[in-house]
Structure 1
C-alpha cells in the first residue's frame, strides 16, 4: 500500500481534471479546462438554465493541496482519542485513490491521494490534534485493513448498512446518494426498478449500488420484465469509455463523481437513488467496532460543523447538496 501524508496550507489554487484515461499525458490542466468550457458552451442550448448552471468543477490537482480548508484542535475531541491512537500522534486513514474528483483520486505526482474524503479526514485529524497519514487502499481492502489494525479509520464514501454495523462503527458526514449516468444525449430517465429492465448497467463489485441493481433486477424478473445485465470494469476510465461507445447503457455509481463528470461534459445524470434503497442511509467515517475512536471522530466532525470548515470543504468540492445537519454515531438502519 502506498502511504502519503496529507498536509494543509492556506492559499487556493485550482485546475480542472478530466478523465485521465481519455486525455494525452502532455495536456495541461488549464488547456483541459478551457476546452471543456468551450465544448459545454457550444453544446448548451441558448437560454437553458440547467446548462448555464452546469459549470465545470474547479479542482486542485496538486499534491500540496494549497486550497484545503483548515481548522484547529478541539480540546473536548482531543480528550476522546484512545490512548493507542494518541500515542504516536497520527491518525492513519484509508482512502481509495483510484477514482476521480471529487472523492478520492491521485494528484499530479500520481501517488498522493487527494479529494473531498481526504479533506474531511484532514479536518478530523486537526480537531483531534493528530497528524493525518493517508493510505491509498482499494475498495476491497478497507474492511480487512481496519480489522488487522493497518488502518485506524476509513474516509472513502462508505455507506452505513446493517451488515457493516456488525463489524464497524460509523460517524456520518454526508447523505448517501447514487446516480445513474449515461452518455450525453441519452433519452434515459431512471427513477424506479422498471426503468433498468433490459439495460446493460455498469456497477462496482461489492458496492451498495451493486446491491441496489441486483435487488431491482430481481424485482423486475419476478414481475416478468426483461432482466438487466450488470457489467464490471477495472477503472472509471474504462467505464466512461464503455458508456461513450455504447457498450453499456448506464452506470450506477457515487453521485459526487457523476456530478463532476456531468459538469465537464463527459456524461449526464439520468436518475438518482439513495444508497440505502429502499431506505435512507448515510456516508460515514468508519472505524473498527468497539475501539472508542468513533466518539472522537464524531466530536471532531462536530467541531468542523460548528466552525464552518465542514461546509466550506463540501463547497470546495461541489458537494454542498449532500451535507447533513450534524454527525451521528451508528445511525439506525433497517436490516
Structure 2
C-alpha cells in the first residue's frame, strides 16, 4: 500500500477564540455525536457542461469523492452549514459541474484513503495527496496545486528551528502516514548518524489534533504541508509562526485508479475547463494562496 500525504490531549492551554473555534468545530464534526455532514454540500452554480463524463457517471449523475476532511484549509467541515468545504472541495465541485455532475463526498481516514479508492468505494480522491514516484506506481494523478513542507512553531520560535536538521532530540508532532512523517524519520536517522539524539515524533491521526499539540506546548514544532502551516499562522499570528522556509515543493494530485483512462481523461479535461473559465484563479484569490502554489 502506498504511503499517504497527512487524538488530542485531555487538557488544553488557552488559545485565542479563533483557533479554539476552528479546532473544536473540526473535532466535533469528527465525533459520533455530531450531525452527519451534508455529503452533497451547497448547490454549485449551474454551468453548461463542456466535458464528457465517463459513462457510468453519466448514468448516476454523481461523482463520489473520497477525502479526509481534517486538513484546513484544503478540506474540512464547515460547522455553520455542516457542508464539506475547502479549496479541494470547491475545486472538485466546479470540475464536476463542468461535466454536468453533482459531487457526493465520502469522508474517510487519510491512512486508508487509497484502499477505499481501489475497492471502488468512491470514484476519485481529492485530499491534498502529494504526487511522488511511489504513488505513481499504483495510481494516476491530475496535478492541481504545488505545496511544500514547513515547520510550525510557537510565537518567537523559542528554539530557533529553521529545518528538520534542527529537530534532533526534540518533540515534533506529525500526522500519521504523511510524507512529512516519512521525511521526519529520514531526518531522525541523519541525527543519529551525526551522533545526535533522534527526533521524538508524536504521531496522530488528524492534522487538527497535531496542531493542538503545539498549542498545548506538548511538542516543540509540527511538520506539515505548507498551505496548512500558512493557514494556522495567518489565523493566529500571535500564537504561531513558520519556522524556516518551505522545502520539498511537489504537486498535489487528484487521484485516480491506475489504468482508469476514461476517468483520468475526464478529470484532466475538467481541470482544464475550470482553468479556462477563471474558476481556478478565483479560488486562489478567495483562499489568498501564494501564486507560487498555482499550477503553471
TM bin, normalised by shorter chain, reads 0.7 to 0.9
Q: Which whole-Å deviations, capped at 9, do the CAs of 1:2-59 have from their partners, x for residues lacking one?
A: xxxxxxxxxxxxxx9534376699xxxxxxxxxxxxxxxxxxxxxxxxxxxxxxxxxx
Question: 1:103, CA displacement in angstroms?
Answer: 1.1
Question: 1:176, CA displacement in angstroms?
Answer: 2.3
Look up the match of 1:244. 215
Count of aligned positions: 266
Q: Which whole-Å deviations, capped at 9, do the CAs of 1:85-139 have from their partners, x for residues lacking one?
A: 222111111121134x311111125853211110011111011221111111110
> Aligned equivalents of 1:192 and 1:242: distance in 2?
19
Q: Which whole-Å deviations, capped at 9, do the CAs of 1:203-249 have from their partners, x for residues lacking one?
A: 11111010111111112221222211111234444333321332100
Look up the match of 2:242. 269
Look up the match of 2:130. 159
- For the 8 Å contact 2:175–2:206, the answer to whether it is kept is no
TM-score normalised by length of structure 1:
0.71
TM-score normalised by length of structure 2:
0.80
Say which SS state the counterpart of residue 105 (structure 1) adopts. Answer: strand
Backbone CA RMSD of aligned residues = 2.8
Higher strand share: 2
- For the 8 Å contact 1:179–1:269, the answer to whether it is kept is yes
What are structure 2's unaligned runs of at least 5 residues?
1-16, 27-37
What are structure 1's unaligned runs of at least 5 residues?
1-15, 26-61, 327-335
> Aligned equivalents of 1:64 and 1:85: distance in 2?
15
Alignment pair present for 1:224 and 2:208:
no
Alpha carbons of structure 1 residues 165 and 243: separation in structure 2 relative to 1, 3 Å: same
Say which SS state the counterpart of residue 70 (structure 2) adopts. Answer: coil
Aligned residue among 65, 77, 88 for 2:60: 88
Aligned residue among 265, 268, 283 for 2:252: 283
> Aligned equivalents of 1:113 and 1:322: distance in 2?
26
1:104-123 mapped onto 2 (5 Å cutoff): 104-108=75-79, 111-123=82-94
- For the 8 Å contact 2:41–2:83, the answer to whether it is kept is no
> Aligned equivalents of 1:227 and 1:238: distance in 2?
23
Question: 1:189, CA displacement in angstroms?
Answer: 4.4
